[in-house]
């Protein structure tokens, strides 16, 4: 099993490089370092959300409410900024993360305590959160000129040549890399998804781990909510509409098994980067952006079919080695 | 946490009498709720008790309910199809495209139904032949099918449907009885008979309760599931014809989010989201409940997006409340 995972990431990295090379043959400007940094910055929200979604999917759940959570938190902090323009950015970020985590906790409680299937819970909360945005904003937009300069400036401020938004994504990747590999929580997340019954016998609370996964996913959605609204300097009901599908797609492309227990941080990041490169390349190679949705859908289907294939092969290998050893 | 799975499939010591079962059933409760909503609505708004208004209100649920019947069978068999709204979009786009090449009403109907069937078959191949989980497959096709509509239409729209085509969504059979209501009734009866009176229906329940057991009882599980996906696709095609005919135009965002309302209707109708149980009469009553509620809220000038909060709460509430109830009862027994 340990051998399978690097293979998958090598294939994905190769696919991304091939894609970049193909684009470079016709538009060399696309692979210039400054443009690649732009592509990364543009993909940063997807990377952050894919990390949260990865944790949820690893525990055999799914979170379809991330985009709505992002939009609601974004609208809430934008309105807060309009009401109290002097509020320091760290406090705004703390509020955004807390709000997101609370929404994640609502999903988590329903899955943990009431044992409602996650797909139903998050389909429901997805529409509820969107509806609440309309209720609190009255359907109005919060525009750039109403937001304070510090508020919109933070994600774009350049540190060591990269915008803060990119650094936040890098930081999240590092934190998650450590968390998944080096902490009890990370191990129990894998254990819960890999075999819930065995996890119970090792003393892991399955429901609680799933709850925590939803809280993590929600907190990241909240954080992204602020970064998104500040970066685009606008907040309205439909921001990031349908973005949850892209997030799930990034995870599935990254080799995270929807059956839980299998997946890596590197996979999620590469999956997100793959979609990010495709999205940014479309206008360059003169394909209408309306193709994006269909490409995302096809990518999900191809990736999930591919994952199942590699999963089958692995099962057979284990069976064979077990037979030969006995 | 671990032993709940075995708890849910308990067999009672003795069966209750038929009448008590009927009165205590989810359907009876739902019917009471529907009647209560009807009475509240008729007091809340003076425009409610009007034959023409009520007839208009049925459009709130007829198209969704057509899909909900097929979806109910699919969910009872332990699968789900989240791509139904996108199938509507694709079928509607295909019909709109055909109109540009001068297709008449019969051709449009054939095209709508065929696209629905093809989309259903596409899902079915991934789920039954490749053995992939239906949730992921249909999340994928949900963006693929609507994505194709966006590729074809962009930010444009198809119009110019032939006037005879409007019969499906705007026509009346007799007085206030619309074509869609008649279609709804016929489809309800067909699905009721299919689920409750045929071998096929029995095998749907068997698959939902115990897929392995079903295989060993000689049921061709994959073939039944294939047919169920075809049926859901076909019903989405029917709904696409009705909706397109009613709106008279096609945009790629048509029927956005309808999959949620369809699933809500099915779950509200008492179908177990984990598969294995549920009835068509339950779904019929749930359709009326949702229709009456949205119509009532509409008369009170509640905007659509606020109604969707209500639908979301309803979806979670109908699953959560019985479980909370059961948990409270267990706590009382222990105390």
pLDDT in tens, A14-66: 989 998 998 888 888 888 888 999 999 999 999 999 999 999 999 999 999 99
In a domain, A189, yes or no: yes
Residue A79 structural domain: 42-244
In a domain, B96, yes or no: yes
The whole-angstrom separation of Cα A153 and Cα A316 is 54
Q: Quick check: A5 and A190 in contact, CB under 8 A?
A: no
Between residues A206 and B27, the one the model is more confident about: A206
Task: Name residues 22-51 of chain A within 8 A of B (Cβ).
Answer: none
In a domain, B8, yes or no: no
- Chain A nearest-CA distance from B278, in A, is 17
Indicate the pLDDT class of residue B325, thresholds 50, 70 and 90: confident
Mean of pLDDT over chain A = 88
In a domain, B164, yes or no: yes
pLDDT at B6: 45
In a domain, B13, yes or no: no
Look at the block and give the residue holding tokens 């029927």. Answer: B255
- Do the chains contact at B142 and A297, CB–CB below 8 Å? yes
In a domain, A306, yes or no: no
Query: Percent of chain A beyond pLDDT 70?
Result: 93
* Tally of domains within chain A: 1
- Exposed/middle/buried for residue B13 (C-beta within 10 Å: 0-12, 13-18, 19+): exposed
* Tally of domains within chain B: 1
- Say which CATH number the domain at B185 has: 1.10.3470
The whole-angstrom separation of Cα B181 and Cα B47 is 21
A296 CA to centre of own chain:
14
pLDDT at B136: 86
Of the listed ranges A74-83, B130-139, B195-204, B293-302, the least confidently predicted one is B293-302
pLDDT at A119: 86
**pLDDT tens figures, B61-103:** 999 999 999 999 999 999 999 999 999 999 999 999 999 998 8
Q: Does B328 touch chain A (CB under 8 A)?
A: no
In a domain, A112, yes or no: yes
In a domain, A278, yes or no: no
Q: Quick check: B250 and B154 in contact, CB under 8 A?
A: no
- Chain B nearest-CA distance from A78, in A, is 21
In a domain, A221, yes or no: yes
- Of the residues A69, A123, A315, the best mutation for testing chain B's interface (the one with the most B CB atoms within 10 Å of its CB) is A123
- Do the chains contact at B309 and A131, CB–CB below 8 Å? yes
In a domain, B10, yes or no: no
**pLDDT tens figures, B101-115:** 988 899 999 999 999
Task: Name residues 158-217 of chain B within 8 A of A (Cβ).
Answer: none
In a domain, B232, yes or no: yes
- Do the chains contact at B315 and A120, CB–CB below 8 Å? yes
pLDDT at B4: 44
Of the listed ranges A203-217, A263-277, B165-179, the least confidently predicted one is B165-179
- Do the chains contact at B140 and A115, CB–CB below 8 Å? no
Q: In sequence order, what DSSP letters do the residues of A280-320 get, joined into one string? A: HHHHHTT--GGGHHHHHHHHHHHHHHHHHHHHHHHHHHHHH
In a domain, B149, yes or no: yes
Instruction: Provide, as residue numbers in chain A, all residues whose Cβ is less than 8 Å from the Cβ of B93.
Output: none
In a domain, A144, yes or no: yes
In a domain, A312, yes or no: no
- Do the chains contact at B140 and A297, CB–CB below 8 Å? yes
Q: In sequence order, what DSSP letters do the residues of A218-236 get, joined into one string? A: HHHHHHHHHHHHHHHT-B-
Residue B101 structural domain: 47-326
- Among the partner-chain residues A127, A242, A259, the one whose CB lies closest to the CB of B311 is A127
Mapping DSSP to helix (H, G, I), strand (E, B) and coil, where does residue A163 land? strand
The whole-angstrom separation of Cα B118 and Cα A132 is 37
Query: Residue range A219-232: average pLDDT?
Result: 95
Q: Does A281 touch chain B (CB under 8 A)?
A: no
Rounded to two decimals, what is the model's pTM? 0.86
In a domain, A90, yes or no: yes
Note whether ipTM > 0.85 here. Answer: no
In a domain, B287, yes or no: yes
Task: Name residues 252-271 of chain B within 8 A of A (Cβ).
Answer: 252, 257, 260, 263, 267
């Amino acid at each position: 099993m340990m051998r399978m995972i690097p293979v998958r990431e090598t294939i994905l990295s190769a696919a991304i490089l091939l894609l970049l090379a193909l684009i470079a043959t016709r538009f060399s400007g696309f692979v210039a370092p400054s443009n690649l940094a732009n592509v990364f910055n543009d993909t940063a929200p997807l990377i952050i959300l894919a990390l949260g979604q990865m944790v949820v999917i690893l525990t055999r759940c799914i979170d379809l409410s991330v985009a709505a959570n992002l939009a609601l938190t974004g609208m809430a902090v934008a309105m807060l900024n309009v009401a109290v323009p002097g509020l320091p950015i760290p406090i705004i970020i703390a509020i955004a993360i807390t709000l997101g985590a609370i929404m994640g906790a609502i999903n988590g409680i329903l899955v943990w305590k009431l044992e409602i299937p996650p797909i139903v819970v998050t389909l429901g909360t997805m529409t509820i959160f969107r509806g609440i945005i309309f209720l609190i904003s009255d359907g109005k937009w919060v525009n750039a000129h109403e937001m304070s300069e510090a508020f919109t400036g933070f994600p774009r401020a350049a540190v060591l040549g990269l915008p803060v938004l990119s650094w936040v994504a890098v930081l999240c990747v590092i934190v998650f890399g450590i968390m998944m590999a080096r902490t009890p929580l990370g191990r129990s997340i894998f254990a819960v998804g890999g075999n819930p019954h065995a996890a119970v016998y090792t003393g892991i609370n399955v429901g609680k781990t799933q709850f925590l996964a939803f809280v993590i996913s929600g907190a990241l959605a909240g954080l992204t909510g602020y970064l998104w609204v500040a970066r685009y300097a606008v907040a309205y009901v439909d921001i990031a509409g349908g973005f949850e599908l892209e997030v799930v797609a990034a995870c599935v492309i990254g080799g995270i098994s929807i059956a839980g227990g299998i997946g890596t941080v590197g996979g999620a990041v590469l999956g997100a980067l793959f979609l990010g490169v495709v999205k940014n390349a479309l206008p360059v190679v003169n394909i209408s952006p309306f193709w994006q949705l269909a490409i995302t859908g096809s990518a999900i289907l191809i990736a999930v079919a591919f994952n199942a294939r590699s999963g089958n092969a692995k099962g057979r290998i284990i069976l064979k080695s077990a037979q030969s050893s006995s | 946490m671990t032993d709940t799975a075995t708890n849910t499939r308990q067999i009672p010591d003795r069966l209750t009498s038929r009448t008590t079962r009927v009165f205590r059933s989810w359907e009876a409760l739902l019917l009471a709720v529907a009647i209560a909503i009807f009475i509240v609505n008729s007091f809340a708004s003076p425009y409610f008790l009007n034959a023409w208004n009520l007839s208009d209100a049925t459009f709130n649920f007829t198209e969704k309910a057509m899909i909900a019947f097929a979806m109910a069978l699919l969910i009872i068999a332990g699968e789900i199809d989240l791509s139904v709204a996108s199938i509507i979009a694709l079928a509607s786009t295909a019909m709109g495209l055909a109109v540009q090449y001068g297709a008449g009403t019969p051709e449009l109907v054939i095209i709508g139904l065929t696209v629905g069937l093809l989309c259903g078959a596409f899902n079915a191949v991934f789920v039954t032949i490749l053995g992939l989980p239906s949730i992921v497959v249909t999340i994928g096709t949900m963006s693929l099918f609507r994505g194709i509509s966006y590729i074809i239409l962009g930010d444009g729209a198809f119009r110019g449907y032939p006037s005879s085509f409007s019969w499906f969504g705007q026509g009346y059979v007799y007085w206030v009885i619309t074509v869609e209501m008649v279609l709804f009734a016929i489809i309800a009866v067909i699905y009721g008979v299919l689920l409750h009176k045929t071998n096929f229906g029995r095998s749907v329940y068997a698959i939902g309760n115990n897929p392995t057991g079903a295989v060993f009882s000689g049921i061709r599980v994959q073939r039944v599931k294939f047919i169920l996906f075809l049926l859901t696709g076909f019903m989405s095609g029917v709904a696409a014809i009705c909706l397109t005919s009613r709106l008279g135009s096609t945009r790629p965002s048509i029927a956005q989010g309808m999959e949620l309302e369809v699933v809500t209707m099915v779950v509200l109708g008492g179908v177990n989201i984990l598969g294995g149980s549920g009835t068509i009469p339950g779904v019929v009553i749930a359709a009326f409940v949702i229709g009456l509620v949205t119509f009532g809220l509409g008369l009170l000038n509640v905007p659509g997006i606020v109604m969707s909060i209500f639908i979301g709460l309803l979806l979670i509430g109908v699953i959560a409340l019985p479980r909370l109830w059961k948990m409270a009862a267990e706590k009382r027994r222990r105390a």
